[in-house]
Chain A
Amino acid sequence: MVLLRFTLSEEGVNALRDALACLNKFSDEVSLEAKRDKLVFTALNSSKSAYAAFSFATNRFFSKYQYEGVAQNREKFFCKLYNRALLSLFRARTGDSLHDPEKGGSVIERCDVAIEDEAGRKSRFMVKIACRNGMTTKYRLPFEVSPPVHAKFDKDEAIHSWCISSKTLRQLMDHFGPGIEYLDIHSDEDATVNLTCFTEKVASGDEVLKKPLHTSIAVEKDEFDSFDVSEDKLHIVVSVKDFRAITNHAVFLGSDVSAQYSIPSRPMQIRYDGDGVKCEFLLMTVGERGAPGQRTRNNRTGERPAPRAQQLESAASRATSKAPTPAPRPTPATRREPMPSLRPIAHRQSQRPPPATLDDDSLFVQQDDDYQWEPVKMNEGEDEEEEGYARLEWDASDRPNPSAIKMSSVIAYQATQRNGPGPVHNEEQDQLMSYLDPTQRLSQARQFGLFYD
Chain B
Amino acid sequence: MESSIRSGSPQPPLFKAIASSTRQIYQLLKCISFTAKVHVQITQDGIRFAADHSRVMQGVAFLDKELFTTYTLNLAENEDGALPQFQVNLAAFLEALQIFGASDLAAKQAKAEAEPYRSNLRNYRPDAFSHQTLGVPGTCCLLYEEDGSPLSIIMEETGVKTRCNMVTYTPEQPDDIPFARDDLAFKIIMHSKWLLDSLSELAPMSPTKMTISASPDAPFLALSSSGALGSASVDFTSGRDLLDTFTIETKWSQSFKFDLVKSATEAMRVASKVSFRGDGQGVLSLQFMVEVEGGTTSFLDFRFVPYIAQDDDDDDDDDEMDSDESRGEFS
Contacts and interface: CB of A to CB of B under 8 A. Distances in A.
A135 B231 contact: no
22 contacts: A2-B329, A85-B230, A93-B197, A96-B193, A112-B330, A126-B326, A128-B326, A128-B330, A133-B242, A134-B236, A134-B237, A135-B198, A135-B201, A135-B234, A136-B235, A137-B201, A138-B232, A138-B235, A138-B326, A139-B231, A178-B117, A209-B117
* Interface size classification for chain A: 20 to 34
Given A85-B229, A142-B230, A136 B329 contact: no
Contacts of B178: none
B2 interface: no
Contact of B239 (A122, A125, A133): A133
A177 interface: yes
A134 B232 contact: no
Interface of A: 2, 82, 84-85, 88-89, 91, 93, 96, 99, 112, 114, 116, 122, 124-126, 128, 130-131, 133-142, 177-178, 208-209
B64 to A, nearest CB: 25
Given A85-B229, A177-B117, A209-B117, A134 B238 contact: yes
Contacts of B233: 137-138
Interface residues of B, number: 32
A72 B118 CA distance: 56
A247 to B, nearest CB: 18
A91 B242 CA distance: 22
B117 A140 contact: no
Contacts of B330: 112, 114, 126, 128, 138
B231 A133 contact: no
Interface string B174-218: 000000000000000001011001100100110000000000000
Contacts of B326: 126, 128, 138, 140
Contacts of A2: 329
B191 A99 contact: yes
Nearest to A85: B229
Interface in B144-165: none
Contacts of B239: 131, 133-136
Nearest to B231: A140
A394 B229 CA distance: 33
A134 B235 CA distance: 9
Nearest to B224: A138
Nearest to A91: B204
Given A126-B329, A135-B234, A138-B326, A82 B229 contact: yes
A125 B238 CA distance: 23
Interface-central residue, A126, A128, A140, by most chain B CB under 10 Å: A140
Pick the most buried of B198, B230, B327, B329: most chain A CB atoms within 10 A of its CB: B230
A136 B238 contact: yes
A139 B234 CA distance: 9
B117 A85 contact: no
B268 to A, nearest CB: 14
B131 interface: no
A134 B238 CA distance: 5
A214 to B, nearest CB: 16
B204 A89 contact: yes
Given A138-B232, A139-B232, 18 more contacts: A88-B205, A131-B239, A133-B239, A133-B242, A134-B240, A134-B241, A135-B201, A135-B236, A135-B239, A136-B238, A136-B239, A138-B234, A138-B326, A138-B327, A139-B205, A140-B231, A140-B326, A208-B118
A181 to B, nearest CB: 16
A91 B200 CA distance: 11
A208 B118 CA distance: 7
Contact of B329 (A85, A88, A116, A139): A116
A85 B228 CA distance: 10
B247 to A, nearest CB: 19
Contacts of B231: 139-140
Nearest to B241: A134
Contact of B230 (A91, A128, A131, A139): A139
Contacts of A136: 219, 234-239
B323 interface: yes
Contacts of A91: 204
A136 B240 CA distance: 11
B83 to A, nearest CB: 39
Contacts of A138: 232-235, 323, 326-327, 330
A135 B242 contact: yes
B315 interface: no
Contacts of B237: 134, 136
Shortest 3 CB-CB contacts between residues of A and residues of B: A134-B239, A88-B204, A141-B230
Given A135-B197, A136-B234, A141-B229, A114 B117 contact: no
Interface string B317-329: 0000011001101
Nearest to A84: B229
Contacts of B219: 136
A178 B205 CA distance: 31
B328 to A, nearest CB: 11
Contacts of B329: 2, 114, 116, 126
Contacts of A139: 205, 230-232
A124 B325 CA distance: 12
B108 to A, nearest CB: 19
Given A85-B204, A209-B117, A135 B194 contact: yes
A85 B205 contact: yes
A409 B237 CA distance: 63
Nearest to A93: B197
Interface in B95-141: 116-118
Contacts of B242: 133-135
A125 B191 CA distance: 31
A425 to B, nearest CB: 55
A98 B228 CA distance: 35
Q: Which of B205, B219, B229, B239 has the most chain A CB atoms inside 10 A of its CB?
A: B229
Nearest to A128: B330
